[in-house]
Structure 1
């Protein structure tokens, strides 16, 4: 694996996606935007808590953001398919620039309260919900199919790196000058992201669809009802994320609090983040003579075994090793399945398909954390990890038992039948 990873890192930057006009600008914008997002994730809580707002106000404000983001995600898919990814992303970025700057003004002028913060964070959530499905639909319109996996890999890597640097930048800014300047910096990142979108040279979507021989009369409802491949992926994604979110957000910190302390928890999270970056890099490797479904079986079984062993791996070092292995496989498998769905989806419905995928992944958050909290309380945190590992394994084995999933090759497209492969 080490030799393969080194070869991926040494891949010339003038080949593949980097040779496509506009792609370097796109990932530069994603990197900047991800730094700003994570800076915001620290600045907003500090703004609320430093003004004696308390955890109730913080929770209420964040709930406004989360609910509006989830509600706006399907709308983002519809608008993107109608007007194109770039206009929606630029509009969302410009709106977030104004709204985040408004939060910066609030930090200097008034005492933060729910009537002041709720409308702003609610609109920020709407903008984020519009932006995300558009961002997943943009790459397939910019890159040729053979470069899409590598493009998704590079996009994921820069986003993860930005997510690592963002909290550090936010912490330094807040410690030095307070949350207001951090919010203004975050606002600036949205302007940078919007500017990079202007540099893209996108081919007309309708022309691409005609070249691919797509039936423009196919509706989203038809794809949902007849796209057996998509149905299987959605079910597996719901099961997998019910387990993953609960494990990372509830079970892992509970285990760390019991056995490793705050420093140990930070070490576990570092392994989680590092593993996702390595997995994203490895996703660029094309495993020949192996169908994508079988590659996913291997990766998800690795995830299941490694997460099941976390409490039994012999302390912090062993647990971190298990979490890191799990995260590598998770990052690799996530990009593999996302690229398969992007290539499979009809071009004129891509954003709506991606919005459903995103809801299947992130929409399980409240259910997952609630169920995991109950399960950990009822059965103990040690028992949760083997249960989670078994659930992951069963989900991928069930999916692979379905011909519509098992027989799909990389690049197969929706053709309007229940089998949905070319």
Structure 2
């Protein structure tokens, strides 16, 4: 059997029109979404918000997203995913524009930012399962691995630009105008999704939405590697969410400089880009056991924030965090796309999102008081030990070790 790739496998998935539209929309949204967390953090701090208040604002967004995601998954398997994506992108543009206006006009308060952030979380939750499941719809099976890698690469490239631009925009013109850019990117995404030509009719559903949800849960539990790594992701986000969203802007942004936090996030996303490029060529057969090994590199970012008061070590730690996480995420996405039936994919993704992020609001809400009690640096070291240690422990799980890449993807 020859080991030389066939000409079909060498061709870019960008030759598919619908895939081009899809990645245009997701990349545009990624650009804006990278800017907004930076802008929101400093909008709260500019209003005199404390570390605990910042954590609560972030927790409101995360909570609203989590509690709505399962509904988004069910709807994504019952109605047109294209309609779900273009509609939610348009609504997100309106919500982000309204939030930007309140900040620019000086009428924003910490509670109003939290409420509008919650609305944004609800709309994002309705969009995400459909958007994640759409890759399998717009490319043939032989292009799936390349499409997942390329989509991740394009999104993280856009996010890298957004993180660097976000720090600069906040420092130069303030948080409100930075959020305005996010609103514009959602409008671009809505137009791109509207241009997709995807015949995606759904058969009539006799089951209730609750019945569909139960069916999706059974599909998750049918795959041991799937539910096990969702639990591992839960632990990761419980500890890392607060370190990233709350402690990072304070330890790096306030300690070294506001633009420095933007550059640290840009280094993080640069790691994602290099990881994506790496995965275009690196195609191990055992997807998940290799992926969780790279995932263990994520602890280097919180370690660098804890031990360094200069920027360069933090940039290195951020880069390695992004590289390892991207390699794992691409292999994780390929595993889900190749193992889960298309008609259940949105629901499975919704359980993945909820299971992974359900503890995030708690982590965001508690990080302030816990970190103040034990010390910021000490807590960052605890976070590093948990996220790296749990990743390495996952290699010992049989379901993770045994899952292999589909033959047509090798």
TM class, shorter-length: 0.7 to 0.9
Residue equivalent to 1:29: 25
Residue equivalent to 2:356: 361
Structure 1 range deviating more: 83-92 or 164-173: 164-173
Contact 1:308/1:386, CA 8 A, preserved across alignment: yes
TM-score, normalising length: structure 2: 0.76
Q: Deviations over 1:363-382 (max 9, x none)?
A: 33233345555654455455
Q: How does 1:369-380 map to 2 (within 5 A)?
A: 369=364, 372-373=367-368, 376-377=371-372, 379-380=374-375
Query: How far apart are 1:235 and its partner, in Å?
Result: 1.3
Residue equivalent to 1:274: 270
Unaligned 5+ runs, structure 1: 1-11, 208-215, 413-422
Contact 1:311/1:319, CA 8 A, preserved across alignment: no
Query: How far apart are 1:385 and its partner, in Å?
Result: 5.1
Contact 2:167/2:260, CA 8 A, preserved across alignment: no
- Of 67, 71, 78 in structure 1, the residue corresponding to residue 67 of structure 2 is 71
Tell me how far apart the structure 2 counterparts of residues 233 and 83 of structure 1 sit (CA, whole Å). 28
Tell me how far apart the structure 2 counterparts of residues 115 and 325 of structure 1 sit (CA, whole Å). 36
Residue equivalent to 2:79: 83
Aligned CA distance change for structure 1 residues 126 and 249 (closer, same or farther; 3 Å): closer
Q: How does 1:17-416 map to 2 (within 5 A)?
A: 17-38=13-34, 40-41=36-37, 55=49, 65-103=61-99, 111-112=107-108, 121-166=117-162, 168=165, 179=176, 186-202=182-198, 204=200, 219-250=215-246, 252=248, 256=252, 265=261, 267-288=263-284, 290-304=285-299, 311=306, 316-369=311-364, 372-373=367-368, 376-377=371-372, 379-384=374-379, 386-411=381-406
RMSD of aligned Cα (Å): 4.3
Q: Equivalent residue of 1:219, what SS?
A: helix
Residue equivalent to 2:4: none
Q: Equivalent residue of 2:282, what SS?
A: coil
Structure 1 range deviating more: 166-175 or 15-24: 166-175
Residue equivalent to 1:211: none
Query: How far apart are 1:407 and its partner, in Å?
Result: 0.6
Query: How far apart are 1:160 and its partner, in Å?
Result: 2.9
Contact 1:156/1:280, CA 8 A, preserved across alignment: yes
Residues matched between the structures, number: 389
Unaligned 5+ runs, structure 2: 1-7, 204-211
Query: How far apart are 1:88 and its partner, in Å?
Result: 0.7
Contact 1:89/1:135, CA 8 A, preserved across alignment: yes
Query: How far apart are 1:40 and its partner, in Å?
Result: 5.0
Contact 1:38/1:170, CA 8 A, preserved across alignment: no
Aligned CA distance change for structure 1 residues 392 and 372 (closer, same or farther; 3 Å): same
Query: How far apart are 1:233 and its partner, in Å?
Result: 1.4
Tell me how far apart the structure 1 counterparts of residues 136 and 142 of structure 2 sit (CA, whole Å). 10
Contact 1:264/1:316, CA 8 A, preserved across alignment: yes
Tell me how far apart the structure 1 counterparts of residues 54 and 298 of structure 2 sit (CA, whole Å). 34
Structure 1 range deviating more: 219-228 or 229-238: 219-228
Query: How far apart are 1:123 and its partner, in Å?
Result: 3.5
Residue equivalent to 2:3: none
Aligned CA distance change for structure 1 residues 397 and 203 (closer, same or farther; 3 Å): farther
Query: How far apart are 1:349 and its partner, in Å?
Result: 1.6
Contact 2:293/2:391, CA 8 A, preserved across alignment: no
Tell me how far apart the structure 2 counterparts of residues 319 and 175 of structure 1 sit (CA, whole Å). 23
Tell me how far apart the structure 2 counterparts of residues 393 and 49 of structure 1 sit (CA, whole Å). 30
Tell me how far apart the structure 2 counterparts of residues 61 and 376 of structure 1 sit (CA, whole Å). 17
Structure number with larger C-alpha Rg: 1
Query: How far apart are 1:33 and its partner, in Å?
Result: 2.3
Aligned CA distance change for structure 1 residues 254 and 99 (closer, same or farther; 3 Å): closer
Residue equivalent to 1:7: none
